[in-house]
Chain A
Amino acid sequence: MNTGRIMAIFEKDLKEFTRNAMLFTTILLPIILAFMYSRMGGEALPAMLVYLIVGVAFSAILCSGIMTMMAEENEKNTLRGLMQSPASMLDILAGKSLVVVLMTAVSLIISFLIMDVAFEWSIASIGGLILLALFFLNVGIAVGLTVDSVATTSVYLLPIMFIFGFTPMIEMVVPDSDHFIRRLTDYLPLYQNISLHGEETTVPLLILLAWTLVSFLYVTWAFRKRMSDEVK
Chain B
Amino acid sequence: MDRVIILENVKKHFGNEEALKGMTVEIAKGEVFGLLGPSGSGKTTTIKILTGELGPSEGRVEVLGRSHESFNSTQYVKSLGILSDNSALYERLTVKDNLALFRKLYNTEQTKVDQVLKDVGLEKHIDKRVKDLSKGMKQRILLCKAVLHEPEVLFLDEPTSALDPGTTESIHAMLLKIKAQGTTIMLTTHNMDEATALCDTVAFLNNGTITDMGSSESLRQAYKTNEIHITYRNGTTRHIQRTIENRSQLEKALFDPEAVNIESDYPTLGEVFKKVTGKELV
Interface members, chain B 60-111 (any A CB < 8 Å): 72, 74, 77-78, 80, 82, 84, 86-93, 97, 100-102, 104-107
| Size band of the interface chain A makes with B | 20 to 34
Give the nearest-CB partner of A12 in chain B.
B101
Give the nearest-CB partner of B86 in chain A.
A77
Chain A residues in 8 Å Cβ range of B107: 4
A8 B101 Cβ-Cβ under 8 A: yes
Binding site secondary structure of chain B:
loop
Mark the stretch among B47-55, B112-120, B271-279 that contacts chain A.
Answer: B47-55
Give the nearest-CB partner of B145 in chain A.
A81
Contact of A76 among B54, B91, B106 (CB under 8 A): B91
A78 B88 Cβ-Cβ under 8 A: yes
In the assembled complex, A183 has its CB within 8 A of some CB on chain B: no
Contact of A5 among B86, B88, B105 (CB under 8 A): B105
Mark interface residues in B125-155 (1 if CB within 8 Å of A CB, else 0). Answer: 0000000000000000000010000000000
Pairs of residues from A and B, 10 with the lowest C-beta to C-beta distance, nearest first: A8-B104, A77-B88, A19-B92, A85-B105, A12-B101, A86-B74, A77-B86, A78-B88, A84-B82, A87-B105
A-B contact pairs, 29 of them (CB 8 A): A4-B104, A5-B104, A5-B105, A7-B104, A8-B101, A8-B105, A9-B105, A11-B101, A11-B104, A12-B97, A12-B101, A15-B92, A15-B93, A16-B93, A19-B92, A76-B91, A80-B84, A81-B89, A81-B102, A81-B145, A84-B80, A85-B106, A86-B74, A87-B105, A231-B52, A231-B53, A231-B55, A231-B72, A232-B54
A-side residues, CB < 8 A to B, are 4-5, 7-9, 11-12, 15-16, 19-20, 76-78, 80-82, 84-88, 230-232
